[in-house]
Amino acid sequence: MQRRCLIDRLMQGVLLGSALLSVCIVLMIGLFTFLQSRLAWQSIGPVAMLTGTAWRPGSGRFGLLPMIAGSVLATLGSVAIGVPLAIGCALFVAEVAPAPIRALVRPAVQLLGGIPSVVYGLFGMVVIVPLIRRIPAPGNSGYGLLAASIVLAVMILPTITSIAEDAIRAVPREYKEGSLALGATEWQTIAGVTLPAARSGIVAATILGIGRALGETMAMTMVIGNSVVVPAPLTQNPLSIYLSPARTLTGNIAVEISYATGLHESALFATGVTLFVMIMVVNSSAHFLLRSRSR
């Protein structure tokens, strides 16, 4: 008995140490990034950096607004494309598909999460960009927010699908049986009972997908055009803003960190701090929604 208690306490200590180590790693990364960016925050100022529209390191101008706008617009576009597909896929796997088809579809969707991002970028360059280039618009090179949004939508699909499927399966069976017993059809039950009951889990899945999209680097760098400009519509149609080239926060770091020094390097670390804060806000929102759902 004493030996078993000793083993239990030892394992509790190991698990507690693992949890604390994970927290410490995150804190150390955040602290290191902030300390490296302190020169930029002091020399340029937070307001000037976050609201500036020009990024010209040679002229001492370090405005992050074009990259913030590029990251946000690319993420919103990927959510608009990917979330309906992911929820539809989750409903199909959880509620509609027969067992043999489910056994094929679920691993195929999960496999998308293991494909390297550079492969998505190559696919976007070879297939998606030439298709977008056919859209008649002045200055449309195919490289821009639309290509980035499509690639990101595919990349966040497995994350949202897996979590949304779990949320749908967690809906008590009594809810569905009660709806069917009252005369509702299967689709009326899904739309009126299953989806509302799983809503908080689906929202949390969407927020985690947003965090995944915000942190993507390589694929975005390959298809978004990497122009440091605030995205603007190419025609009178406001949606043509997605044909505009842009640059994301992650792409800004990846493109320039290899040769940056001094204030330029510190400004890139400030870019990382901005991205770090944005992802923390998104992930904290998801954690809050998951806690609300569990309660």
Render pLDDT for 199-233 as a digit per residue (tens, 0 to 9). 888 888 888 888 888 888 888 889 998 888 888 88
Task: Extract long-range pairs of 236-243: CB within 8 Å, 24+ residues apart.
Answer: 240/137, 241/73, 241/145, 242/73, 242/77, 242/144, 242/145, 242/146, 242/149, 243/132, 243/135, 243/137, 243/139, 243/140, 243/144, 243/145, 243/146
Quickly state the pLDDT bin for 268 (edges 50, 70, 90).
very high
Q: How many structural domains is the chain composed of? A: 1
User: What pLDDT, in 10s, does the model give residues 237-263?
Assistant: 888 899 999 999 998 998 888 888 889
**220: nearest Cα among 125, 290, 137, 132:** 125
Question: What is the pLDDT, as a whole number, of residue 101?
Answer: 86
In order, the DSSP letters of 88-148 are HHHHIIIIIS-HHHHHHHHHHHHHHTTS-HHHHHHHIIIIIHHHHHTS--TT--S-SHHHH
The CATH number of whichever domain residue 142 belongs to comes to 1.10.3720.10
Mean pLDDT of the chain: 87
Contacts with 154 (C-beta within 8 Å, 6 or more apart), sequence order: 82, 112, 120
Owning domain of residue 139: 2-294
* φ, ψ for residue 152, nearest 5 deg: -65, -35
Question: What is the pLDDT, as a whole number, of residue 3?
Answer: 72
Question: What is the pLDDT, as a whole number, of residue 105?
Answer: 86
- Mean pLDDT along residues 24-45: 90
The distance of Cα 58 from the centroid of its chain, to the nearest Å, equals: 32
Provide the token pair at 95: 């509620």
Local structure of residue 225 (DSSP, 8 states) = B
Share of the chain above pLDDT 90, in %: 32
What's the half-sphere exposure (Cβ side, CA atoms, 13 Å) at 60?
A: 3
Q: What is the pTM of this model?
A: 0.86
Provide the token pair at 267: 């400004």
